[in-house]
Amino acid sequence: MYKVLISNDDGLKAPGLRPLIKEISKIAKVYVVVPKKQMSGTGHSITLSKYKKAVKIADDFYSVDGGTPADCVKYGLVAFGKDKIDLVISGINTCPNMGQDVIYSGTVGAAREGAMKGVASLAVSAAEMHAKEYGHSAIATRDIAEKILKNKNKYKSVCLNINIPKNYKGIKIVPLGLNDYNENVVTVADRKGNFSYKLTGRYFSGGKNKGSDIDAVEKGYISITPLHIDQTDFKLLRKVKL
């Protein structure tokens, strides 16, 4: 039987977690390690030189208090055996991860960690903001996962970023697009002159994205984008002369 490690960045109470476990359990033995709380926007960050408490929720199901998504995958691969895990699935995220959002995404960070450890990995997101229903996304993920598992040697160390819209028409393998946000930093000063700040912003444009993941989702298709682990810009490598 195949063995699949599931993690996420939305935490133990993530609405997409149980539907995903339910569907993947139909094709594989499932192991789960997730952050205890919401960890969106943590990217591929990891915790160094600190103990993190892993709490057993059920058999082969743990939550990590204060752990990042990448921490959870690291722990899961060690606890359950890297050589025994056939696939890592991170998700289902509650909103899209398209374009440069994959850099910030804890969902993608968890999947990328699995790929870095030599395991085929999927980062799965609902393609609408604050999705309410995850059954269709879980079924689509199961179907994709089953195809990957049947060809797991081909997909070793591969990270696939997946966004699933409602009533999807099919699948398109596409590059990342480019998101534009009207970002702002709001600051508040206290009496001592110290500042607190928070980031705000709203998505306002997908830019020129014909043929991208953003374009595919807008047209009702599941977008799948293979992501590099090696971030070297090989074109620029030949041009830089310092």
- 69-115 confidence digits (pLDDT tens): 999 999 999 999 878 999 999 999 999 999 999 999 999 999 999 99
Whether the pLDDT of residue 156 is over 60: the answer is yes
Output the average pLDDT for the chain: 93
Q: What is the DSSP string of 117-163?
A: TT--EEEEEESSTT-S--HHHHHHHHHHHHHHHHTTTTTTT-EEEEE
Whether the pLDDT of residue 202 is over 80: the answer is no
What DSSP character marks residue 49? S
Whether the pLDDT of residue 65 is over 80: the answer is yes
Q: Kindly report the pTM of this predicted structure.
A: 0.93
Residue range 150-176: mean pLDDT, rounded: 96
Q: Is 93 left (phi over 0), alpha (psi -120 to 50) or beta?
A: beta
In the chain, % of residues over pLDDT 90: 81
